[in-house]
Amino acid sequence: MKPFSLLIGALSLLALFTGCASPDHRAPVEDRKPPTVRPPVLTAPSTTTAAPAVPASAAAAPEVPAVKPPPGIENLGKPGYYQVKPGDTLIRIGLDNGQPWRDLARWNGLENPNLIEAGQVLRVTPPAPDPGAPAARPVAPSGRIETRPLEGSKPPAITAAAASAPAAPAVVAPPAPASSEDEPTWAWPAAGPVAAAFDDVKTKGLAITGKAGDPVLAAADGRVVYAGSSLRGYGNLVIIKHNATYLTAYAHNQKLLVKEDQPVARGQRIAEMGSTDAERVQLHFEIRRMGKPVDPARLLPPRP
């Protein structure tokens, strides 16, 4: 039994060595290299704070209200219209355009003539009459009209032929056209000497000197369109409109003797000479033709 046991042991050792030498049965090899450690990537700390989310409705830009255009801007550049400048007044605009300020207020529908704004466009010439306006018709009398002869007079005898004949229509003469372009008959507005001659840029008129209280006279027939002190640089002022062409202005008075819309005659006393808004007692006198200053010395008659 011992030899057989030794044989079995030898065979077992031979099989063991044969299995270890086979290429298909290699012993596992353990990789003992240390794992590669990569350093962490460092980033700079953030200095800004993330903005909170804004709703789309809040992010939209606020609506800017539309700028309202000045009144009458659609008439800018048209003949007969004027664009208001800073510092203008309706009285100044009327004087510069040869029109009463009340007419300007009416033509432009101004409820308060003191409220005009720079950039506003105003009508400064009379509006044309509306051709579509119906003509005025005579009103037929209603009822029976009784006629009586005047006392002490006898009614005229009516013949049969006259009674049977139809009545001839009455002929109405057309009214005479207004002579707005007629040259007024001028007279000197004050008796004192002329201290400053006309200059169309600086003086725009004549400076006539005198004493405080000396009479100031209307230079021609007309109607007062302004009497007051609202026009800067003129003091107590009277403006007279003589026709559609001419205006006259009388400034620096100490007292006004007429009112607006009052008719005046040539040579009528309208004010007393003074020094309001002036350095000395004087009458500043202007003649304006269609709003443009003209030299009064060329229109006034020679002095005796």
User: Does 243 map to a domain?
Assistant: yes
pLDDT at residue 67, rounded to an integer? 82
Q: How far apart are CA 70 and CA 235, in angstroms?
A: 31
User: Does 40 map to a domain?
Assistant: no
What are 214-231's pLDDT values in tens digits?
999 999 999 999 999 999
| Residues in the chain, pLDDT under 70 | 1-62, 64-65, 130-181
Whether pTM > 0.85 for this model: the answer is: no
With contact defined as beta carbons under 8 Å apart, do 219 and 188 qualify?
yes
Domain that holds residue 244: 194-298
Q: State whether 113 and 198 are in the same domain.
A: no
According to DSSP, the β-strands at 215-217 and 269-272 are antiparallel
pLDDT at residue 6, rounded to an integer? 60
Structure tokens at 214: 């000396």
pLDDT at residue 166, rounded to an integer? 45
Cα 15 to Cα 10, 23, 35, 110: the distances in Å are 9, 15, 39, 130
Q: How far apart are CA 92 and CA 256, in angstroms?
A: 19
pLDDT at residue 173, rounded to an integer? 39
User: Does 217 map to a domain?
Assistant: yes
What are 94-124's pLDDT values in tens digits?
999 999 999 999 999 998 988 999 999 999 9
Q: State whether 200 and 115 are in the same domain.
A: no
Residue with tokens 């050792």: 13
Sign of CA dihedral 229, 230, 232, 238: negative
Q: State whether 119 and 208 are in the same domain.
A: no
Domain boundary, last residue among 64, 97, 123: 123
User: Does 303 map to a domain?
Assistant: no
User: Does 251 map to a domain?
Assistant: yes
User: Does 262 map to a domain?
Assistant: yes
User: Where residue 204 sits, what CATH number does that domain have?
Assistant: 2.70.70.10
User: Does 109 map to a domain?
Assistant: yes
User: Where residue 95 sits, what CATH number does that domain have?
Assistant: 3.10.350.10
For the chain, the domain total comes to 2
Q: State whether 114 and 203 are in the same domain.
A: no
